[in-house]
Amino acid sequence: MSLSQKTFFIKRLRKRNPDEFRFLSEKVVEFKKKRKRFDILDHTADIGLVIYGKDLKTLFENAGVGFFHLITDLKRVRQKEERRIELPGESLERLMVDWLNELLYLHEVENLLFKHFRVEKVGKNGLKAVAKGESFQEGTHVIHTGVKSVTYHQIQVRREGEGWRAQVILDL
């Protein structure tokens, strides 16, 4: 269905059946809210990420996406290379900082940009994950901002409602 066709059907629905239209649009908003992976938190000298996830695995995956979303335009990054990441057991807060620092390390040393993450295991016993992306290429990729380090300042990883929420401040 083309975009103009979609618009046509949506308009027709709104006109003919306003109640159902309202019901459906609320569902869409709810769905989008549930799917929201992260928010950017304003901080004068630095920048923060608030990350959401329905479970811990998704939370850590979304943290990776949020992190590289700040650095680059992910639409231009392809999944050409992958790296396995394993981290030892820590508190969840420390594990979150370690995870992002590990990604930053790979970004700096190997110039990698990651866009897809699969966390196989995460918890008090550590983390096992695969990150996919490709090397930075001048002309193909853009850099929005450079991250210097991931800090422990105001770090939070906690349950919220039915899911998880984390907060991390990055030094830029």
Partner 1 sequence: MRSGLSRKEIEGKMKELVAALFVNIPSGVGSHRKDLKLGEKEQKQVFKKGAKWAVEKGYGADEDLDHIEEQGCIEGADPDQVSEKAMERGRAQLGTVGSGNHFVEVGYVAEVFDEVIARALGLWKDQITILVHTGSRGLGHQVCDDYIRVMMDSARKYQIELPDPQLCCAPISSPEGERYLQAMACAANYAFTNRQMISHWVRETFEQVFKRSPSDLRLQVVYDVCHNIAKIETHTIDGEKKRVCVHRKGATRAFPPGHKDIPKDYQDVGQPVLIPGDMGRCSYVLIGTEQAMKETFGSTCHGAGRVMSRHQAIKAAKGRAIVREMEDKGIIVKGASRGTIEEEIPDAYKDVNDVVNVVHHAGISLKVVKLVPMGVVKG
Helix, strand, coil abundance in the chain, percent, nearest 5: 40, 35, 25
- Say whether residue 84 binds partner 1 (CB under 8 A): no
Residue located via tokens 């006109």: 15
- Say whether residue 75 binds partner 1 (CB under 8 A): no
**Other CB atoms within 10 A of residue 99 CB:** 25
Among candidates 172, 166, 169, which has minimal Cα distance to 37?
166
Report, in Å, the least distance between residue 86 CB and partner 1.
14
- Say whether residue 10 binds partner 1 (CB under 8 A): no
For the record, the structure tokens of 159 come out as 């349950």
Interface pick for partner 1 out of 23, 149, 158, 160 (rule CB under 8 A): 149
**Other CB atoms within 10 A of residue 13 CB:** 14
Q: Are 48 and 167 in contact (CB under 8 A)?
A: yes
Interface pick for partner 1 out of 14, 21, 37, 47 (rule CB under 8 A): 47
Distance CA 172, CA 170 (A): 6
Interface pick for partner 1 out of 17, 25, 140, 145 (rule CB under 8 A): 145
Distance CA 59, CA 57 (A): 5
Nearer to partner 1, 123 or 146 (CB): 146
> Of 7-15, 16-24, 142-150, 157-165, which segment contacts partner 1 by CB under 8 A?
142-150
> Of 50-58, 81-89, 151-159, 160-168, which segment contacts partner 1 by CB under 8 A?
151-159
Report, in Å, the least distance between residue 27 CB and partner 1.
31
Q: Are 53 and 44 in contact (CB under 8 A)?
A: no
Binding site for partner 1 (CB under 8 A): 40, 42-45, 47, 93-94, 101, 105, 107-109, 111, 135-136, 142-146, 148-155, 171-172
